[in-house]
Amino acid sequence: MSRIRTARCLAVIAVIAVVSAASVCAQTPTAERKQTPTAQAQAQPAATGTLTGPDDPNPTRPDPDVGEAKQRAPLPPPRLKIDLLLVGSFTLGATSIPWGNITAIEDTAAMSQSNGRCVFAYRYATRNQGVMASVATQNRIRLDLQNGPLLASSPLPALAPGASGGSSGKLVLSPGESMLYVHADGAALNAESDEANNLRRVRVTVKGDCR
C-alpha cells in the first residue's frame, strides 16, 4: 500500500514539475532580435549642367533647374540670289582693254589735256547673272589699290535677272602707269550670292605729257 502511495506521489510531483516548467517558459520573454543598422544613403548633390537623359530631345540644352532658359540659335537670313558681274571689257578712249590686261594709250586719245593731266572717256558693262532683281547702286573706279583714291563713280540702275547695264563717264589720269580697280556695286547696296566677282582691274600707261 505504501508503495502505491509513493508511486502516486511521484506521478503528481512529475505532473507538477511539467506544469511549472511550461508556466516558466510561457512567462520568459523571447530575446528580441537586434536589427543590423543599415548604411544610410549619402545625400546626392543637386544636378547641374546639361541634361543627357534618353528622353531629352536636345541633350545639350541648358538645365532649366539652374535658371538658364532654353535658347534656339537664330536662323541665318535667306541667301539672296543677286549676282552682279563685270562683263566684256573696259574701254578707255577708243581703246578696248580686256579685264586683267595691260595696255598703253597715247595722250592724244584724251578728250582734253591740261597741266600734265589727261581726261579720257570710259565705259564698261555690268550684268546681273542672279535670279533676283538688283537695286540701283553705284559703280566705282579706284586708283592703284582696292581701297585707293576714288577716280570715278557712275550710277548703275536696278537690273532684272540676266539684264546688263552700262557705266560711263570721264576719267582723269596723269602720264605714266596707273592700275584701275573697277568695283561693281561699289556702294555695297546689294546683298549678293557671290561678292568675289564684283572687282576687276586693268593697267594703263598713258604716253605723252598731257599738256
Query: Using H for helix, E for strand and C for coil, what is the string for 193-207?
Result: CCCCCCEEEEEEEEE
pLDDT given at position 58:
40
Grid cell digits, residue 101 = 590686261
- Report the CATH number that the domain containing residue 119 is assigned in CATH: 2.60.40.10
Of 107, 127, 128, which Cα lies nearest the Cα of 118? 107
Residue 14 lies in a domain: no
Say whether pLDDT at 162 is over 90. Answer: yes
Query: Tell me, what's the pLDDT at 64?
Result: 35
Angstrom distance (rounded) from CA 184 to CA 146: 12
Range of the structural domain that residue 175 is part of: 84-207
Residue 119, in any domain of the structure:
yes
Q: What's the pLDDT score for residue 94?
A: 93
Number of domains in the chain: 1
Maximum mean pLDDT: which of 34-43, 70-79, 187-196: 187-196
Region 174-198 average pLDDT: 94
In a domain, 24, yes or no: no
Q: Is pLDDT of 44 > 50?
A: no
Q: Specify if 62 maps to a domain.
A: no
pTM above 0.95, yes or no: no
Is residue 77's pLDDT more than 80?
A: no
Establish if 7 belongs to a structural domain.
no
| Residues 151/142, Cβ–Cβ less than 8 Å | yes
pLDDT over 50 (residue 66): no
- Does the residue 101 lie in any domain? yes
In a domain, 10, yes or no: no
Is 25 domain-assigned? no
Name the average pLDDT for the chain: 78
